[in-house]
Amino acid sequence: MSSSTASRLGVPADLLQDLADANRILAHQGIVDAFGHVSLRHPERPDRFLLARNMAPALVTPDDLIEFDLDGNACHGDERKVYLERFIHAEIYRARPDVNSVVHSHSPTVVPFSVVPSARLRPVCHMCGFLRDGPPIFEIREEFGDATNLLISNREQGASLARKLGDHPAVLMRGHGSTVVADTLKLAVYRAVYTEVNAQLLSTALPLGEVVYLTDDECLATLDVHAGQIDRPWNLWKKAATEAA
């Protein structure tokens, strides 16, 4: 890794490596493909965040990370090509001081739950208790009409998405994908993976008959377990992604 990137951004090199690893983990776990992204709020500048340049997540290294302000502008005169949907990250960091990491993906089993309003993505497994009563669904037509390309490509659309997210840990985006947030990078990655897992489990259960979901108290009781064991999946997923590279 280039130590100059770490000093230029004022971020410890191991944190930049973690963010690069998060990109590779999410790709290897099938949450992102050529598209999708993960960001981290700057540890010293809450009004800044770190996100890769425009590229496939599986290929991201620390030197590919760019610092952005909350208007979605690249800092330090960085002129490399950036993600169109960086406003997802910028506006969520602006609206949610408790959030330090954001994952946006099009993970395939989640998308159907964004287009069938009656099939709410409620938690069916203890690993997914953070979903509580199910993520809200962002409908871009509500504010931006029925002729958009469905992407979040400006500040206004990002702010609209952040409003729909509210204080939830996840928001589905109709016909597009989902965005999950957490107070740490590792927990955001965990939630992105297990949002997809819950969608797979629920898709399997729904045709079998009436589904029993976790109660809200059961959901709340799972939260400390996830945070307390977060290094376990992270280390496994990191090793698997590294070996596959």
Catalytic sites, residue numbers? 85
Our measurement of the distance from residue 105's CA atom to the centroid of its chain's CA atoms, rounded to an integer in Å, reads 6
